Homo-oligomer: A and B are copies of this chain.
Amino acid sequence: MLTEIRPPLSEVLSRQALFKGLGPEELALLARGSRELRLQRGEILFQKGDECAGMHLLVMGQIKLALPSPQGTEKVVHMIKAGGTFGEAVAFLDKPYPVNAQATQDSYLVLVDKHILLSAMEASPMLSRKMLASLSIRLHDLLEDMETCSLRTSSQRVICFLNQMAPADKPNQYELILPSSKQTVASQLNLAPETFSRVLGHLTGAGLIQVNGRSIRVLDLARMRNFDG
């Protein structure tokens, strides 16, 4: 067991991009309205329909947001990574959560009470701007997911995903590590795991990628984008 250094909450908050630039008294206010949460891999944070207490800020770890289906399966909507937030839209609307949340890695997060958050926003137009920007990005991403899922074929969806995972300068060749298990990625792309596996097989067969566990090497991005399943 590691000896952990646990800094005060206000310091943890001050290090998050969302709260950069807030004054110490605002940070203290937020900290007073916040709770720390620690989850082990696999633990469920909340379920669709639960009451929403506030905004979640993931400091470390990984959280999976997914829609449950009547048959007990689920569709992954979004993977939250360190520094990410979720639940703010739901908190503002006073609605129950529309998704399930489960830790896919041991995680450490902070739950910021919604009332406190609202008063902090009242006091800081900059925080409002950042929240607005963050929601806008979420909306934009969700629309992209919708685009991917509803007007592309299975191969195009996978190619689109590999393309999005490319480094910023988009070299024609690069390596990437899948952010989660293949079944999870498949679910995000609205594919059965078997289909995902087969598509990777086709791309490998066409000499466009090399797969090694969770690591994928893209050999020819330009040609891959034109690949037709």
* Residues of A participating in the B interface, judged by any CB pair closer than 8 Å: 67, 69-70, 73, 75, 77, 88-90, 92-93, 95, 98-99, 118, 121-122, 125, 128-129, 131-133, 135-140, 142-147, 149-151, 190
Contact partners of A144 in chain B: CB under 8 A: 98
Asked whether, in the complex, the Cβ of A150 is within 8 Å of the Cβ of B95, the reply is no
**CB within 8 Å for A150 and B89 given contacts A77-B143, A135-B132, A136-B135:** no
Could you tell me the dominant secondary structure of chain A's interface residues?
helix
A13 CB to nearest chain B CB (Å)? 20
Contact partners of A129 in chain B: CB under 8 A: 118, 121
Q: Which of B140, B147, B149 contacts A150 (CB 8 A)?
A: B149
Q: Provide the bound-state CA to CA distance between A89 and B133, in Å.
A: 8
Interface contacts beyond A93-B136, A121-B125: sample of 8 additional A-B pairs, CB < 8 Å, sorted by A: A67-B147, A70-B151, A73-B151, A77-B146, A98-B143, A121-B128, A132-B132, A132-B135
**CB within 8 Å for A89 and B135 given contacts A125-B125, A142-B143:** yes
Max chain B CB contacts within 10 Å: which of A75, A90, A93, A146? A146
Q: Please, could you name 19 A-B residue pairs with CB atoms under 8 Å apart, sorted by A?
A: A67-B146, A67-B147, A67-B151, A73-B151, A75-B146, A75-B150, A77-B146, A89-B135, A89-B139, A89-B140, A92-B136, A93-B136, A121-B128, A125-B128, A128-B128, A131-B132, A132-B132, A146-B146, A149-B150
